[in-house]
Amino acid sequence: MIKKFGIKKFARVTLAIVFGSSLFALAQTNPAASAPAAAAAPDSPSAAAAATATAKATGTKVGTINIEQAIFGSNEGRRDFEALAKKFEPKQNELKSLADEIDSLKKQLNAQQDKLNDESREKLVKQVETKQKSFDRATQDAQEDFQAQQGEIGNKILTKMAPLIVKYASESGYGMILDTSQQWPRGPVIWYGPAVDITQPIVEAYNAQSGVPAPAAGSTAAKPVKPASSPASKPAAPATKPPATTPPKQ
């Protein structure tokens, strides 16, 4: 289900930057085998590729960045995802109304099944099944549409942010940057300290470059969404939650 764009781990965006081999790879993984397919991985970002191709990895330090947090915690990311959340509010309300209707019919069936004759019971059961199928299809369609648009926004920001990551890392003596968007063992990093994390400096540099003002006080940042595992349950109303706290700037 579409969680209110506090968004429980969306089609995750993962970044790996290895300066020694001038590699910049962007990949997205499905959050669950039973969930709708996540937005397709973008074509190799030309700006990122150009940036890594010209960077020289002369440093020896190893650093980390939570690229997912950097994208969604930037002013531009927060602005664009809040707009996307609002765009999907009517669909969210539509799904909630349909789920409420299904719940009501199920309660009616449970309460009256001993009193109904076979024909009436079968008719009510079929009505529930038909509405449930309609709900499942609508939920999947909405989820796939949301994830696709979410991925487009994230990829657009990442393409512009990549050269900043390369520049900051090379100027700060880093020879390698590892992504911590996913915890080990799904991610590559078992442990790291805040002193090697460059997420916050990158967010600040990107905000300065983009010129997008900070969202109004009280607004929240969106994060990637993961479909709920049980579409038969009542959908949760879309809700945002603030981004995770980033380590202090070095």
Q: Could you report the average pLDDT of every consecutive run of 10 residues in the chain (250 residues)?
A: 38 30 28 32 45 62 93 95 96 96 93 86 92 96 95 94 94 93 88 92 96 79 45 38 42
Q: Three-state SS for 101?
A: helix
What local confidence, expressed as pLDDT, does residue 249 receive? 45
CA–CA distance, 67 with 148 (Å, rounded to integer): 18
Contact 175, 63 (CB under 8 A): no
* Phi, psi angles (nearest 5°) of residue 82: -65, -40
3-state helix, strand, coil in the chain (%, to 5): 50, 10, 40
SS3 187: coil
Angle (nearest 5°) at CA 18 between 164 and 47: 40
pLDDT, position 58: 73
**Cα dist from 217 to 182, 208, 220, 242, whole Å:** 29, 19, 9, 12
* Chain centre distance of CA 199: 17
The answer to whether 58 touches 169, Cβ cutoff 8 Å, is: no
Q: Name residue 190's amino acid.
A: I
pLDDT of residue 196: 93
Helices marked H in the chain: 46-54, 67-73, 75-87, 89-112, 118-171, 199-210
Q: Which residues contact 146 (CB under 8 A, 6 or more apart)?
A: 2, 84, 88, 225
Structural domain boundaries of the chain?
12-210
d(CA 153, CA 212): 15
227's CB contacts (< 8 A; 6+ apart) are 1, 2, 31, 32, 35, 36, 139, 140, 143
Three-state DSSP state, 238: coil
For residue 220, the model assigns a pLDDT of 55
Alpha-carbon distance of 222 to 35, in angstroms, equals 20
Q: What are phi and psi of 229, to 5 degrees?
A: -80, -20
